[in-house]
């Protein structure tokens, strides 16, 4: 089953995009991780930060499918090696799309094409609500939410 989320954020597409891909934005929103990639179609990407394997733990990695700044970012992703033994076999697609609606930005996230019986699927469903709520708060206030993680 596909996961789909839509948020309206009181900020420009550039501000939302920056939160999604810049080192400052991803560190604030994604557990201190930085998104590393050349962002070319077909290039690898990884969210890297502190974790099970020290300061350079790969939390999620994969391949860039689409990258159009301030509009769309789509990847095939795998869980980091320290999280799942079969990480290379487990995948899903994540697609972030930004649209201007009045003076706001509509962010649509679709997380689909899950490997059958993917062990992270259920946890991801609830985590995205928190991460996207945090992104909305971050863009609108410059602060993140404290979920006690």
Return the closest-CA partner of residue 89 out of 53, 112, 62, 52: 62
Return the structure tokens found at 46.
């990884």
Segment 99-105 mean pLDDT: 98
Mean pLDDT over all residues of the chain?
94
Between 70 and 31, the more confident residue is: 70
Segment 136-145 mean pLDDT: 96
Segment 34-56 mean pLDDT: 93
What does the pLDDT read at residue 63? 98
What does the pLDDT read at residue 53? 86
- What the chain holds in terms of domains, given with CATH numbers, is 3-141 (3.30.530.20)
Q: Are 80 and 96 in contact (CB under 8 A)?
A: no
Segment 64-75 mean pLDDT: 98
């Amino acid at each position: 089953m596909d996961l789909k989320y839509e948020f309206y954020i009181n900020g420009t597409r550039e501000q939302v995009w920056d939160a999604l891909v810049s080192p400052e934005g991803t560190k604030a929103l994604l557990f201190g991780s930085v998104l590393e990639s050349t962002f070319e179609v077909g290039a690898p990407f990884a969210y890297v930060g502190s974790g099970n394997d020290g300061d350079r733990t790969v939390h999620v990695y994969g391949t860039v499918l689409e990258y159009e700044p301030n509009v769309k970012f789509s990847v095939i992703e795998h869980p980091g090696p320290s999280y799942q033994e079969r990480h290379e076999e487990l995948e899903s697609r994540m697609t972030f799309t930004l649209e201007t609606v009045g003076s706001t930005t509509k962010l649509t996230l679709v997380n689909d094409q899950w490997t059958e019986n993917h062990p992270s699927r259920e946890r991801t469903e609830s985590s995205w609500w928190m991460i996207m709520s945090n992104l909305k708060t971050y863009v609108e206030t410059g602060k993140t939410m404290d979920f006690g993680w």
